[in-house]
Chain A
């Protein structure tokens, strides 16, 4: 059932994620005070991760100056996408600049550095990936933390966001411990994700405006939905979502 649904929509790396027996490590949900479509945009917006999530940039987990891209994973219905980044590619660039600036790495100043202990799980060098499946599902790998995220509307300006953390049955003790530690990055109290709930609420208030009849309009560049293999500085994934939404709702 999962395979029939996901196979044509997922990137191959996503299919590989579910090719071994899984182990449930935990789950919870949180209420966020914004319309569900704002969270759908949040999942697909590749700019904000490095602008908003200081923890990602500071600790070099996910930055736009790493090699990465957006892959539209279903050509027939370009509503689904994979966003990916390769952490090691930034390290190389850093070494190049090390002599001039920022010699001190903030990472060494983490008082509990085991939070970010990780191992290279895949040989393609991808260390951060989010496979978004239209409309409300995302499968993410951050370092070694595998999580499935989905959300459901609870009102016009209220959304319930669910987090499920997964490992593999054949994980050894050290691997499971690293997945548990890294889960602190995401979820309701995640060092990174806690900001999404807040910022979406700000956008909700700003979009709604001060009056009942007020509305906001913001046009982004570009019109097409196609893969951007070399850069995540693009809105293709967001346009892909709205393309799907408009087609289904008959607005197209």
Chain B
């Protein structure tokens, strides 16, 4: 797991320029989702990316199935295709509020970034839910892994969307 590797070789990256570039990248990523430019979303990943959303408990237990698991950019593109053409859901919009990005150099061209975020989801009737996540992105020759850990009360807090 990324977090365990990071604990062993936790060398923070102090280069402000590099950190700013990664933070901008993540902000662009979040804004693409908030602005419903979802077709751009897979482009933030490499062709062999691993995209994994899981819960805090499953991550701690090292369980392979979380909430979403995509291997390769193709599966991310399929998600958007399904969302646009197949899936039935209530229209809604998102707003991501990003925290500071912390970078860790893991050696061997591996850079790990952590950005906590809160995302609000506003439904048709104006009702808004807030979900809190921890996001870990890891750049390993351009690969990217994302770890979202919803932690609402009772272990729940992930809504179908």
Interface residue ranges, A against B (CB under 8 Å): 24-32, 52, 54-55, 58, 110-115, 160, 165, 176, 179-181, 183-184, 187-191, 193-199, 201-202
Known contacts A26-B64, A183-B69, A184-B70; is-contact A189 B75 (Cβ 8 Å): no
Chain B neighbourhood of A25, CB < 8 A: 63-65
Q: Say whether, besides A55-B82, A112-B74, A193-B160, A198 and B68 are in contact (CB < 8 Å).
A: no
Beta-carbon contacts under 8 Å, B110-161 to A = 154-161
Look across to chain B and name the residue whose beta carbon is closest to the beta carbon of A195: B88
Offer 9 A-B interface pairs, CB within 8 angstroms, sorted by A.
A30-B159, A31-B156, A55-B87, A110-B74, A114-B72, A160-B156, A180-B65, A188-B158, A196-B160
Which residues of the partner chain A approach B158 to less than 8 Å between Cβ atoms? 28-30, 188-189
* A54 proximity list for chain B (CB < 8 A): 85-88
Q: Which residues from B are CB-within-8-Å of A58?
A: 86
Asked if A198 contacts B160 (CB within 8 A), the reply is yes
Q: How far is the CA of A196 from the CA of B54 in the complex (A)?
A: 20
Among B64, B68, B78, B160, find the residue whose CB has the most chain A CB atoms closer than 10 A: B160
CB distance from A175 to the nearest CB of B (A): 12
Provide the bound-state CA to CA distance between A52 and B69, in Å. Answer: 23
Q: Judging by beta carbons under 8 Å apart, are A165 and B65 in contact?
A: yes
Q: State whether A194 and B65 are in contact (beta carbons under 8 Å apart), knowing that A28-B55, A110-B78, A160-B156 are contacts in the complex.
A: no
A-chain residues with CB within 8 Å of residue B79 when the two chains form the complex? 191
A164 nearest CB neighbor, chain B only: B65
B34 contacts the other chain (CB 8 A): no
Which residues of the other chain, A, contact B66 by a CB distance below 8 angstroms?
26, 28
B87 touches which one: A112, A160, A195 (CB < 8 A)? A195
